[in-house]
Structure formats: C-alpha cells, structure tokens
Amino acid sequence: EIVMTQSPATLSVSPGERATLSCRASQSVSNNLAWYQQKPGQAPRLLIYGASTRATGIPARFSGGGSGTEFTLTISSLQSEDFTFYYCQQYTDWPLTFGGGTNVEIK
C-alpha cells in the first residue's frame, strides 16, 4: 500500500498570504496525484488532478506541483473561503490512498 503523508497537519496563515501544503508518497506515484478541498459538513471537492491540472471552475490562485514522491498545493493569496481542510490522494495503484489532511486556519 502506498502511504500518503501530508504536512503540516495544521497551517496558520493570514488572509491574503500564500499557503503551501505538502504531500509525500511512500513510493513514486508519477503524477497520479489529486488534491481535494473539504468544508465542514460538505462533501469533498476536486481541486487538482494529474498533480498540476486545475479542475473545472477552480480559481487560478490554486496551483499544484511535484512528481514522483513529493507534491505541493499552493494557494497564492488566501481568501476567507479557503480556510478549511485539504487532502491529497494517489491513484497510481490500488488501494487508492488519501493523506491525513491539512487544516488551513486563520492566523
């Protein structure tokens, strides 16, 4: 099983600042990496797939990077609606696996 590790667990950032979230895979997943945003009480929403391709309707302030085992999600200028939970997920092999999540909170 490919283990996905996200860091930090909690990231405190001021509105308007940049946030960088990390996701590490226990073995190479090539670019088969997705990012999701989840607000409390809601289903997750796809942000990024293929490590760096934004999903339909996702604002340009969200960007993904990396390949192999190291990945990042960057939010260039945090808006109020961006303070919530983020998960990475690999889909290169079964079982599909998610990272433990990062909570982006207001500093």
Partner 1 sequence: EVQLLESGGGLVPPGGSLRLSCAASGFTFSSYAMSWVRQAPGKGLEWVSAIRGSNSNTFYADSVKGRFTISRDNSKNTLYLQMNSLRAEDTAVYYCAKLSWSFGGWVDSWGQGTLVTVSS
State the nearest-atom distance from the C-beta of 69 to partner 1, in Å: 18
Q: Contact, 33 vs 88, CB < 8 A?
A: yes
Residue selected from 24, 31, 46, 52 as contacting partner 1 according to rule CB under 8 A: 46
Structure-block tokens of residue 32: 């088969």
β-strand 10-13 against 102-106: which pairing, if any? parallel
Q: How many residues bind partner 1 (CB under 8 A)?
A: 21
3-state secondary structure at position 99: coil
Q: Footprint of partner 1 on this chain (CB under 8 A)?
A: 1, 34, 36, 38, 43-46, 49, 55, 87, 89, 91, 94-101
